[in-house]
């Protein structure tokens, strides 16, 4: 019979505009089953409470300094998260793991460069080079007649942006559209409204997590979609439930740059069962 023993895992809770994750430094600790951990720990009543689990690790390739793996609250692995990447930049710098203010982060959607804006040894905000958007990908999006009119944009993960005055339909409509047959790999769904001052108020249903306070890749996708449809220029402020992200889609390199805050919430330890 296999005995069970308990071990403690140290973690850090962080958020970017309210998009909160549990961060574990896997250079010091090993998480044997991150999918199960993400499900259990993300529970806001019986766990730590979060939108998912983020693992910070060494990079297996010389093109990057560190790696990031993200597991949503439902245990599915995400390709990329802009808010989480900003938090990792703050974590690495303020916890003394690096003194660089430009960090190359390996994600499942490529290497992203983080530019840290530091004042008095504190990271006040982070700009992330989110690389080029992909506007058409038949593997991810197959249009059908019954789907709501929107714009498909991939930021390394799939997004469908719907411009509407009724952004509060996010729960009812977003939950259905995530699993719509038009999106074979499921999809993040944004509901966006242009404000009188030109800012874009956006709510998001994230694939694997549901409604979140903010979504960095979603903000980027929304800004690109707004520019493509003539609703905005190449710079936009995206106002999400948890805060505002500044997005620039540069003509010079066709890359999307996202700037926003990152915050520590608390550190803690959680016990897990291990087989002996």
Identify the pLDDT of residue 273. Answer: 73
Catalytic residue selected from 81, 187, 220, 227: 81
More confident residue, 180 or 62: 62
Identify the CATH number of the domain defined by range 4-131+261-275.
3.10.310.10
pTM of the predicted model as reported, rounded to 2 decimal places: 0.90
Contact 204, 190 (CB under 8 A): yes
Domain boundaries, the chain: 4-131+261-275, 151-254
Catalytic-residue membership of 87: no
Identify the pLDDT of residue 139. Answer: 52
Contact 15, 64 (CB under 8 A): no
The fold of the 151-254 domain, in CATH, is: Diaminopimelate Epimerase; Chain A, domain 1 (3.10.310)
Least confident interval from 120-124, 147-151, 259-263, 268-272:
147-151
Catalytic-residue membership of 215: yes
Catalytic residue selected from 17, 215, 220, 227: 215
* Model pLDDT for residues 192-248, shown as the tens digit of each residue: 999 999 999 999 999 999 999 999 999 999 999 999 999 999 999 999 999 999 999
Contact 41, 270 (CB under 8 A): yes
Identify the pLDDT of residue 135. Answer: 86
Q: Which of 161, 149, 185, 148 is nearest to 236 (CA)?
A: 161
**Mean pLDDT (whole number) for 62-74:** 97
Is there a shared CATH topology between the 4-131+261-275 domain and the 151-254 domain?
yes
The fraction of the chain above a pLDDT of 90, given in percent, is: 87
């Amino acid at each position: 019979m296999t005995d069970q023993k308990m071990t403690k895992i140290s973690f850090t809770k962080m958020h970017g505009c309210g998009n909160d994750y549990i961060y574990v430094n896997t250079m010091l600790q090993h998480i044997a089953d991150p999918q199960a951990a993400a499900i259990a720990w993300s529970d806001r009543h019986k766990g730590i409470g979060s939108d998912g689990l983020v693992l910070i690790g060494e990079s297996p390739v010389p093109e990057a300094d560190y790696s990031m793996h993200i597991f949503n609250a439902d245990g599915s692995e995400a390709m990329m998260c802009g808010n989480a990447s900003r938090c990792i930049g703050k974590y690495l710098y303020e916890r003394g793991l690096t003194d660089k203010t430009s960090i190359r982060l390996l994600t499942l959607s490529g290497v992203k460069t983080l530019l840290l804006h530091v004042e008095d040894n504190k990271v006040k905000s982070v700009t992330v080079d989110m690389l080029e958007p992909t506007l058409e990908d038949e593997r991810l999006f197959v249009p059908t007649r019954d789907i709501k009119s929107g714009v498909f944009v991939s930021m390394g993960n799939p997004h469908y942006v719907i411009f509407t005055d009724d952004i509060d339909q996010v729960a009812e409509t977003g939950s259905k559209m995530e699993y719509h047959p038009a999106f074979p790999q499921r999809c993040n769904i944004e509901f966006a409204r242009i404000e009188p001052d030109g800012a874009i108020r956006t709510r998001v249903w994230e694939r694997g997590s549901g409604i979140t306070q903010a979504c960095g890749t979603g903000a980027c996708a929304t800004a690109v979609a707004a520019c493509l449809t003539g609703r905005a220029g190449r710079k936009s402020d995206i106002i999400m439930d948890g805060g505002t992200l500044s997005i620039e889609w540069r003509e010079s390199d066709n890359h999307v740059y996202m700037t926003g805050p990152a915050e520590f919430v608390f550190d803690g330890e959680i016990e897990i069962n291990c087989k002996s």
